[in-house]
Amino acid sequence: MSETVEMTKEVARGETILRVHNLKKSYGKLEVLRDIDLDIKKGEVICVLGPSGSGKSTMLRCLNLLELPTGGTIDLKGETVFDGGKPKNLDDLRRETGMVFQSFNLFPNMTAKGNVSIAQIRVRGRKKDAADERSIEQLTKVGLAEKVDEYPDRLSGGQQQRVAIARALAMDPEIMLFDEVTSALDPELVKGVLDVMRELADSGMTMICVTHEIGFAREVADRVIFMDGGYIVEQGPPAEVLGNPKEERTQKFLGLVLDH
C-alpha cells in the first residue's frame, strides 16, 4: 500500500523536484540572502561556490528550514512547504532532505550503527532490527563495515563524516544537502569522503553541495552556482562557470582560489 502512495508522489528524473522563489533571509538589518531563485531537477548535482559570507551555507540551511527564511517560497515535489509565514510541513520537508554538516555532528553517545538507526526508528517508524540491518548496509556502502560498533570518538574525521552521510541516506531522502563537508578534514581524509559523494552522484541522487573543492565541482557537478553578497551571481555547467566565467566577481574569486 505504502508503495503506491510513494509512487504517486514520485518525481521523474529530470523534472523539477525543488523550486525556490524569491528566497530572502536577514538577521536584523543584515541581509544574508537577498533574492534567490532556484529550480532543482531530480538527479541533478549542484555545487555552490562563493567567498565566505556570501550566503551559501545560509541558503542550504534555509532549504531544509534549519534557518527560517524571512521571505520567499519553497516548493518540494509541487507542494508548498514554505511561503513566508510559519512552515507548514516542516518535518515532512526535513524527512525528504538529508543534510551533512561541516562539523559532522554525530551523536557521541551512540555507536556508528546507533547514529544511523536512531532516526529510522523514531522518525520512519522502522523496527530496530530492520533499522540496524539498513544501517549496516548503508555503513558498508560508505566503506565502514568494520566500524559499525565503534563510537564516534574512535573514528577519524573522514570516517565520522562518512557515518554522517550514511545516517542521512538511511532516511531515504529525495535530496541531499552537503554543507562544506570536507572543510574540517585533514587533507588525506578528503578523498574518501569525496569518493562517497561521487558514487552517490553517479547513483542518481539529487545533491546540492556547498563546497570549496573546485576539482570536485568540475568533475561531478551538472551545474555550478557562484554566490556573492547574498545573490546568485552566475550559474551554469561547470565548464562554463569554472572555465569561462562571464562575471567579474566569479573571475576574481576563481583567480584567488585556483592560484595557489
Partner 1 sequence: MGDFFDIFFNFQFMADHFDVVFKGFLVTLKLSVVGGAFALTWGLILAVLRQLPGKVLAPVRWIVIAYIDCLRGLPLLLVIMLLANGLATMASQGVIPREIGIPQWLGENDPFWYGVMALTLTYGAYMAEVYRAGIEAVPRGQTEAARSLGMSHGQAMRFIIVPQAVRKVIPPLLNDFIALMKDTALVSTIGLVEAVQAGRDLYSEFYNPSGWTLGAFMFLIVTIPLARFVDRLIKKQNEKFQRGLP
Report the interface residues with partner 1, using CB under 8 A: 64, 66, 91, 94-95, 97-99, 101, 103, 105-109, 118-119, 122-124, 153, 164, 167-168, 171
Count of positions (residues) in the chain? 260
* Residue nearer to partner 1 on the CB measure, 71 or 87: 87
| Residue 161 and residue 181 in contact, taking contact as beta carbons nearer than 8 Å | yes
Give the shortest CB-8-to-partner 1 separation in angstroms: 21
* Residue nearer to partner 1 on the CB measure, 42 or 61: 61
Give the shortest CB-78-to-partner 1 separation in angstroms: 20
Q: Which three cell numbers stand for residue 186?
A: 585533514
Measured between alpha carbons, how far is 244 from 238 in angstroms, rounded to an integer? 9
Measure Cα distances from 71 to 13, 31, 48, 66, 201 in Å.
29, 11, 21, 15, 31
Give the shortest CB-45-to-partner 1 separation in angstroms: 20
Please name which of 98, 38, 44 lies closest in space to residue 69, comparing C-alpha atoms: 38
DSSP state of 12: -
Give the shortest CB-56-to-partner 1 separation in angstroms: 17
Measured between alpha carbons, how far is 192 from 199 in angstroms, rounded to an integer? 11
Give the shortest CB-209-to-partner 1 separation in angstroms: 15
| Residue 43 and residue 82 in contact, taking contact as beta carbons nearer than 8 Å | no
* Residue nearer to partner 1 on the CB measure, 152 or 245: 152
* Residue nearer to partner 1 on the CB measure, 177 or 241: 177
Measured between alpha carbons, how far is 95 from 123 in angstroms, rounded to an integer? 8
* Residue nearer to partner 1 on the CB measure, 54 or 120: 120
